Amino acid sequence: MTPEDLETLLTDEGQELLAGLREHDPADDLAAATRLRRTHDAGLVAAALTQARLRQRAAAKFGADAGLMYFTPHGLEQSTRASVAEHRARRFAAYAPGGVADLCCGVGGDAIALLRAGLAVTAVDRDPLTCAVVRANAAALGLADGLDVVCADVADAGTGGRAGVFVDPARRTARGRVFDPEAYSP
């Protein structure tokens, strides 16, 4: 997915298409794509079908929220299960009432839990698409007001003045899972 794909999914037409694919069976992708391309742009159809598949996979991590959220394949693989994020958020709420900087925020699983715990969040990621996805996810779940998104390398971004800092660096590369903390990125 590209930032442009996400923008088109956020339009009224994209939202209508996604709503129609909520119960979509991925085994029917070819038939659905053929049917939908008659009335929608092929790029939008491809993006919507991909998002529908990702949302179905995400349900195991995010429950009902997955049907409203946006994902990239990499972002979904790296994302934190909602129950784990909620546990972390409760702990931060007790010790960092001034808010939390979520460094390496990814698609926003931890940021969402922190926002729901009543904390202001500065979410930082270096990838522009990921930054757009975390914004879209917070908005889709009605949590955008407490979120600031900074698209920058976390080594340069700072914490936005937040009292707490949460860092969850990538632990997977194209070659697989990384077990050595010295090799995490960033």
pLDDT one-digit tens code per residue, 25-79? 888 999 999 999 999 999 999 999 999 999 999 999 999 999 999 999 999 999 9
Closest CA to 79 of 174, 141, 172, 183: 172
Q: What is the pLDDT of residue 101?
A: 96
CATH code for residues 78-183: 3.40.50.150
Tokens 């923008």, residue located:
7
Helix (H, G, I), strand (E, B) or coil at 84: helix
Helix (H, G, I), strand (E, B) or coil at 25: coil
Helix (H, G, I), strand (E, B) or coil at 163: coil
Tokens 């975390």, residue located:
134
pTM, full prediction: 0.90
Q: What is the pLDDT of residue 185?
A: 64
Adjacent-strand bridge partners of 150: 124
Q: Residue 84 is encoded by which pair of tokens?
A: 């784990």
Is 70 exceeded by the pLDDT of residue 1?
yes
For residue 28, CA distances in Å to 13, 31, 33, 53 come to: 21, 6, 8, 11
Is 80 exceeded by the pLDDT of residue 173?
no
Q: How far apart are CA 40 and CA 36, in angstroms?
A: 6
* Cβ neighbours around 46 below 10 Å, total: 17
Q: What is the pLDDT of residue 186?
A: 66
Express each pLDDT in 7-28 by its tens digit.
999 999 999 999 999 988 888 9
Is 90 exceeded by the pLDDT of residue 5?
yes
Express each pLDDT in 109-165 by its tens digit.
999 999 999 999 999 999 999 999 999 999 999 999 999 999 999 888 888 888 899
Q: What is the pLDDT of residue 172?
A: 57
Q: What is the pLDDT of residue 160?
A: 84
Q: Residue 144 is encoded by which pair of tokens?
A: 């955008």
Is 70 exceeded by the pLDDT of residue 103?
yes
Adjacent-strand bridge partners of 164: 100
Q: What is the pLDDT of residue 97?
A: 87
